[in-house]
Amino acid sequence: MIDLVLLAALWGASFLFMRVAGPAFGPIPMIELRVGIAALVLLPVLALGEGLTYLRRYLAPLSFVGLTNSALPFVLYAWATLSVSGGFASIVNATSPLWAALVAFVWFRERLSAAMIGGMTLGLLGVIVLAWDKATFSAGGGGWPMLACLGATLSYGVAANFTKRFLTGVPALAIATGSQLSAALMLLPAAVATWPVDLPSATAWLAVILLAIGSTALAYFLYFRLIASVGPARAIAVTFLIPAFGMMWGWLLIDEQITMSMVTGCIVILLGTAISTGVMRWPRRHAVQPVRK
């Protein structure tokens, strides 16, 4: 339980750190530092065993996971949080399991149950409620940042299904390390080209370091330990805690507003996610048995 709450707090804080560091570094340089530092922290841990052999053996699939689970979604969220609050972005992040189920249906033809379809529909309704007063694509509107957040969660859904299909049996720490390292190599040229001219402040640097070490390297370690101890089905419960921490950190530390549409949208999205993942089940009607005399 402690690991679950700590993990949610760390991942919820990632949106705060991006809000603080993003304007100073820019989206791509900030994410390059995030994945690069995380890879440097994880590599020695992986090297303690024979984990480095997995990096060579599974170079291509790990690179794809690095693109879809780190480089692309991290940059999309970093760009979005230049315009929308961290709490808002963390709520949209809760739709990731819905996208994972949809991608599994489209890509691998996995069956969608009635409960999953109902949960997805409810989750979509929650997104509409959340974005109702922001979905304008004019200058300064929240339409494009909203689509960027949804694109990031879709990318997570692709990565989850790809990992399940092509990296089953590979140690989770190897997947985390390989994906962070490959993401860092992918983003390096663009990060160098867009590196900020003005030196970022000490506060911005601190936010990036905490983002990389706390919300990425340590968070991955906790996540994999959680999966090992309670299983993936229970570990997904972290999805339901991240928005609460995302909104709380932003409100406490940088005075972000928590609006009624955020709260309502969050509740509806989490309800839809709970139904689609089986955490919450519809009550079943039991047939009335005849009384035998």
pLDDT tens per residue across span 163-191 = 888 988 888 889 999 999 999 999 999 99
Q: Note whether residue 293 is domain-resident.
A: no
Residues 210-232: what's their mean pLDDT? 83
What integer is the mean pLDDT of 55-69?
95
Question: What is the reported pLDDT for 2?
Answer: 81
Q: What is the pLDDT of residue 49?
A: 78
pLDDT of residue 284: 57
Does residue 142 surpass a pLDDT of 80? no
Residue 60 pLDDT = 96
Q: For residue 236, what are its two tokens?
A: 């997904």
Asked if pLDDT for residue 244 goes beyond 70, the answer is yes
Look at the alpha carbons of 150, 156, 159, 160 in this order and tell me if their dihedral is positive or negative: negative
Q: Please report, rounded to a whole number, the percentage of residues in the chain having pLDDT higher than 90.
A: 48
Q: For residue 208, what pLDDT band results from cuts at 50, 70 and 90?
A: very high
pLDDT, mean over the chain: 87
Distance CA 89, CA 78 (A): 10
Report d(CA 124, CA 237) in Å as an integer. 20
Q: Where are the alpha helices (DSSP H) in 71-142?
A: 72-80, 86-93, 96-108, 114-131
Q: 21-49 burial, b for 16+ CB within 10 Å, e for fewer?
A: bbebbbbbbbbbbbbbbbbbbbbeebeee
Nearest to 4 by CA among 159, 160, 230: 230
pLDDT value of residue 252: 93
Q: Specify the pLDDT at position 236.
A: 67
Phi and psi torsions of 235, nearest 5°: -65, -25
Question: For residue 291, is it within any domain?
Answer: no
Number of domains into which the chain is organized = 1
Query: For residue 74, is pLDDT > 90?
Result: yes
Q: Calculate the alpha carbon distances from 106 to 43, 88, 102, 161 in Å.
A: 35, 28, 6, 11
Is 93 domain-assigned?
yes
196 vs 144, residue with greater confidence: 196
User: Is 106 a member of any domain?
Assistant: yes
Give domain status of residue 245, yes or no.
yes
253-281 burial, b if ≥16 CB within 10 A, otherwise e?
eeebeebebbbebbebbbbbbbbbbebee
Dihedral, 266, 35, 51, 66 alpha carbons, nearest 10: 70
Task: Tell me if residue 117 falls in helix, strand or coil.
Answer: helix
3-state DSSP call for residue 161? helix
Q: From CA 180, how far away is CA 288, in angstroms rounded? A: 56
Q: Is the pLDDT of residue 151 over 80?
A: yes
Give the pTM: 0.88
Beta-carbon neighbour count of residue 231 at 10 Å? 10
Range among 54-58, 122-126, 129-133, 258-262 with highest mean pLDDT value: 54-58
Instruction: Read off the amino acid at residue 280.
Output: M
Per-residue pLDDT at 29 exceeds 60: yes
Determine the pLDDT at residue 4: 84
**Could you tell me if residue 206 is inside a domain?**
yes
28-32, 233-237, 261-265: range with lowest mean pLDDT: 233-237
Rg for the chain, CA atoms, rounded: 20
Lowest mean pLDDT among 145-154, 179-188, 232-241: 232-241
Write phi, then psi, for 26 (nearest 5 degrees). 90, 155
pLDDT at 282 over 80: no
Distance CA(21)–CA(217), nearest Å, equals: 18
Which residue segment(s) compose the domain that 246 sits in?
Answer: 2-277
**Do the domain assignments include residue 285?**
no
Note whether residue 284 is domain-resident: no
Confidence of residue 293 (pLDDT cuts 50, 70, 90): very low
**Per-residue model confidence (pLDDT) at position 120:** 84
